[in-house]
Structure 1
Amino acid sequence: MDLREWLTARGGIAHRSDAAEHGFAPRQVRGAIRSGAVRRLRAQWVALASAPDDLVAAAAASARLTCVSLARRRGWWVPDRAPGGLHLQVGPNAHRHRDDATLHWGAPLVDCGPRRLTASVEDALAHIAGCCLHEDARVIWESAVRIERLDVEALRLVEWREPRSRALAAEVIGLSDSGLETMVIVRLSGWGVPLRQQVRLAGRRVDIVIGSHLVVQIDGYAHHSSSAQRGSDVAHDAELRLRGYTVLRLSYAQIVHGWEDVERTLQAAIARGLHLPPRQRR
């Protein structure tokens, strides 16, 4: 395997110390750089032309990818209104600046060593807590818990340095099936009615139960697109109604762009006692 093949297998970019440990002598690396087969990024990194732009930028700045940039790279659900651009973690004594990036300064919670171009999950979550609106941060944290299979109790034991991180660690529960579900939970959490997530009713899980009998099902971008699945959803909704539940289905557009209308509908349902058992309704 030559250097280019090795770099390809590693995602197109690597620390030169890793290359040396895998048998590529410094002269081989220098020769590959001179020939244009690979490019040098600062003193310690080499990359192919096809290497991901965000990792190349991190290497060029002697930084690590963090915050929403790491969230997007790892596939966490990031709301559209969350901050864009490149987010980099830099040490407290870093001297290099990037005008086109948001820099997160300070010593890391988890020191991953000089050969990593991505911050730890914990550091990324801390930066998200400080960089995003609370609701958006909660959405991303819940997604991270699900995708990374994080233990919620262990997350609460992290020595978070900022109040916003500690607050989110106390709030996150890891039950949301989607970012949209987290949005709804956050928005309803101050209403003074009990909320439960991922409750099993009539043989299937439902997204949210308000009180005991108001069911909210959330349909995302491409939710249940097949006719067979849609028919199954309709049949389950009918079974819930026969058992005394009220079922409301919400779409992505309603939650993200039409929340005021959703809020009015939910308030009207609660005012009519639809969140209560049928025998308790007036």
Structure 2
Amino acid sequence: MDLRRFLENAGSVARTQTILRAGFSDREIRNAAASGEVCRLRHGVLALPGAPSDLVAAVLGNGLLTCASGATRHGLWLLHQPDQVHLLCRHGGPQNTVVHRESLVPHRTAEPVASITDILIHGLRCLPEVEAAVMVESAVRQGVTTLPYLRQRLPGNRNGAARKVLDLVDGTADSAIEVVARLLFRAAGIYTQTQVDLPGIGFVDFLLEGFLIVEIDGRSHLEPRQVKKDRLRNNASILTGYAVLRYGYADVVYNPEKVVAEVWQVLRGRVIR
């Protein structure tokens, strides 16, 4: 394996000591830097041109991407990109970053990214509960963790808030925005069923109070074939006796009060409390 291929496998950036331990010589490193094949970001750190900025920040900060900054590197859902880089640093840590200290499971990849367990535990302790629930839900859906596993690693009073977030996760959502919508409806006191298979209609995202179907539309719902399918499903739903509302990402994330108000407008008069 040549030096360029090694760096590609390591996320395009690595410390010189890591490269030397992999079997490359000082001469190979000097030649690659002199030719412009790799760049010296500072003494002891090499990168390929155009290396991802978050991975560069991790190596320069002598840490690993974790929490919201490490989530997408493991294919986990993220509701919002973080304003600051989150790093797992055993000692110190650069300014203008969010530093996490504790590590439960060592990372096993060449990239400077923490393990999924560490990313999830840090997210549960650090992020707003809805954003943390989104991240954990995706991990559960992927089968890379379980709720009992995470709960066991959050003992004591200091982790009480993090354990409460786990109660919001049920592993039924197909997307991050469905997690947000589910929590929104349940927080409003609405009886909410998810991914319900209705005869003659198929699976619906939400069935509220047994008669209101709510669908959350992603980008695929703008495609002509999907528009036609949605129209047929809407008609079948109404002809079967259900009410239907449809919302997009911006509605649920940026105007949740309006969504809940419209839902209650449909439910009002048919729900006896």
Q: If the length of structure 1 is used for normalisation, what is the TM-score?
A: 0.81
Contact map agreement 2:10 2:111 (CA 8 A) in 1? no
Identify which of 123, 129, 141 aligns with 1:134.
Answer: 129
Is residue 189 of structure 1 aligned with residue 186 of structure 2? yes
Deviations 1:36-88 (A, max 9, x none): 543456786532233222111111111010111112444433334x6412111
Aligned residues: 268
Aligned 8 A contact 1:64 1:88 in 2: yes
Partner of 2:62: 62
Secondary structure in structure 2 of the residue aligned to 1:248:
strand
SS of the counterpart of 2:245? strand
The answer to whether the 8 A contact 2:70-2:114 is kept is yes
- Aligned twin of 1:278: none
Q: Is the 8 A contact 2:14 2:47 kept in 1?
A: yes
Distance 1:90 1:257, change over 3 A: same
Question: Equivalent residue of 1:163, what SS?
Answer: helix
Deviates more, 1:23-32 or 1:190-199: 23-32
Residue-by-residue CA offset, 1:118-138 (whole Å, 9 max, x unaligned): 111122122222332212222
Unaligned runs of 5+ in 2: none
Which of the residues 99, 104, 112 maps onto 1:109?
104
Give the Cα separation in 1 of the matches to 2:117 and 2:52: 23
- Equivalent residue, structure 1, for 2:258: 261
Any conservation in 1 of the 2:139–2:145 contact (CA below 8 Å)?
no
Give identity over the alignment, percent: 32
Equivalent position SS for 1:109: coil
Residue type of the alignment partner of 1:12: S
In 2, Cα distance between the equivalents of 1:170 and 1:256? Answer: 21
- Counterpart for residue 213 of structure 2: 215
* Cα distance between partner residues in 2 of 1:32 and 1:150: 38
2:237 is matched with 240
Name which of 147, 153, 158 aligns with 1:159: 153
One-letter amino acid of the structure 2 residue matched with residue 245 of structure 1: Y
Deviations 1:167-220 (A, max 9, x none): 222331111112221111112223444211111113521101112221110113
Q: Equivalent residue for 2:95? A: 99
The whole-number CA distance in structure 2 between the counterparts of 1:249 and 1:209 is 12
Correspondence for 1:231: 228
Structure 1 contact 42–59 (Cα < 8 Å) conserved: no
- Looking at structure 2, the residues matched to 176 and 113 of structure 1 have their Cα atoms a distance apart, in angstroms, of 28
Listed as ranges, the matches of 1:170-181 within 5 Å are 170-181=167-178
The DSSP-based 3-state class of the residue aligned with 1:242 is helix
Q: Cα–Cα, structure 1 residues 128 and 17, in superposed 2: closer, same or farther, change >3 Å?
A: same
Structure 2 CA distance for partners of 1:2 and 1:114, relative to 1, 3 Å: closer
Cα distance in 1 between the residues matched to 2:30 and 2:118:
34
Over aligned residue pairs, what C-alpha RMSD do you find? 2.9
* Amino acid across the alignment from 2:162: S
Q: TM-score when scaled to structure 2? A: 0.83
CA distance in 2, matches of 1:114, 1:245: 50
3-state SS in 2 of match to 1:223: helix
Distance in 1 (alpha carbons) for counterparts of 2:36 and 2:242: 67
Gaps spanning 5+ residues in structure 1: where? 276-280
Residue in 1 that maps onto 2:38: 38
Asked whether the 8 Å contact 1:15–1:115 carries over to 2, the reply is no
